[in-house]
Structure 1
Amino acid sequence: MDGEGIGRSRGGLSSKIHLAVDGRGLPMSVLLTPGQDGDNPQLLPLLEAIGVRRRGAGRPRCRPEAVLADKAYSHPSTRAALRRRRIRFTSPERTDQKARRAARGSAGGRPPAFDAAEYRRRNVVERCFNRLKQFRDLATRYAKRAAYYRFELLIAATILWMR
């Protein structure tokens, strides 16, 4: 990460934590970005950082079966990239995308598939954020340098895995 990972967002100077979490709510991949950076460009690097060891010999598995994400990650380019990698993607469509599709009429195409029952499981990610924020250093970001803050995130994630 370049710089200190602090950028100006609506709430002032901040940084964003991007998490990839398994079905049990344990972090698999962590990215730290400045507050003004968009969420959508971070999804593919976040997924590329995942590596799950296989039983026996072989390369680590790096392609999840499904991705559940919030509206910030819902973009046609992201959907196309995940479709090429044969990864199921469940995310609500953003209102501006709905309006653009409606304005184009029949040329706007069909809306992307959305499984509301599967999307309810996304709270596992929010619960993981809550567990990480139990660590006081992470909740208030006492670390001045982005590298130190990222290491604190990784240590907290390791502790969650060891519990």
Structure 2
Amino acid sequence: MSVLSLSSDAFVCPATALAGRAAVPTTIADSACSSRGFRASLRRRGIAHTIPEKADQQRHRHHRGRQGGRPPRFESHTYRRRNTVGRCFNQLEDFRGIATRYDRTATSYKAAVSLAAFMLWARSVCGRTLL
């Protein structure tokens, strides 16, 4: 299951992103999270979400006809950006400390992510490896 929680105004520690302790304005998830209960939980908490519907759920809804209800809202342009964010996370996880979540506190983890992000940015600007 892959869920990316994006927050522009605050850093969301990966361990608490789905635990209900952090205010997450929007969630972009893959179709493994497309259950009715998961969507209802996000709606109850006021979290906007972009989750594609599984093919079998679409078939079932179409088979039921008018009683199948309307399809859940889906923004394809937002979901396409998920690929870019996922690739960024994959590059950040090349740094062993970030991949293993070795740091004990959220502050030191945030510092490690910031340093790794800076190094990735510097590599993209300079065009060569830095260490």
TM-score normalised by L of structure 1: 0.54
* CA RMSD, Structure 1 to Structure 2 (Å): 3.3
Distance in 1 between the 2:58 and 2:2 partners?
27
Aligned-pair CA distance for 1:99:
1.6
Q: Percent same amino acid among aligned pairs?
A: 37
Distance 1:28 1:22 in 2: 7
Q: Does 1:48 align with 2:20?
A: yes
Q: Unmatched 5+ residue regions in structure 1?
A: 1-15, 32-43, 51-61, 140-148
Tell me, yes or no, if structure 1 residue 159 matches structure 2 residue 115. Answer: no
Whole-Å separation in 1 of the counterparts to 2:57 and 2:2: 25
Equivalent residue, structure 1, for 2:43: 83
What displacement does 1:157 show? 5.4
Give the equivalent residue in structure 2 for 1:114.
Answer: 74
Match of 1:94 in 2: 54
Q: 1:152 to 1:99 in 2, by over 3 A?
A: farther
1:127 to 81, 87, 110: 87
For structure 2, list consecutive stretches of 5 or more residues without a partner in the other structure: 119-131
| Partner Cα distance (2:102, 2:81) in 1 | 28
Greater helix fraction, Structure 1 or Structure 2: 2
2:5 is aligned to 20
1:45 deviation in Å? 6.4
AA at the equivalent of 2:77: A
- Larger RCO: 1 or 2 (CA < 8 Å, sep 6+): 1
Aligned residues: 114
Q: What do the CA deviations read for 1:30-65 (whole angstroms, capped 9, x no partner)?
A: 24xxxxxxxxxxxx9615243xxxxxxxxxxx2x22
State TM-score, norm by structure 2.
Answer: 0.65
Question: Are the structure 2 counterparts of residues 161 and 22 from structure 1 closer, same or farther at C-alpha, using a change threshold of 3 Å?
Answer: farther
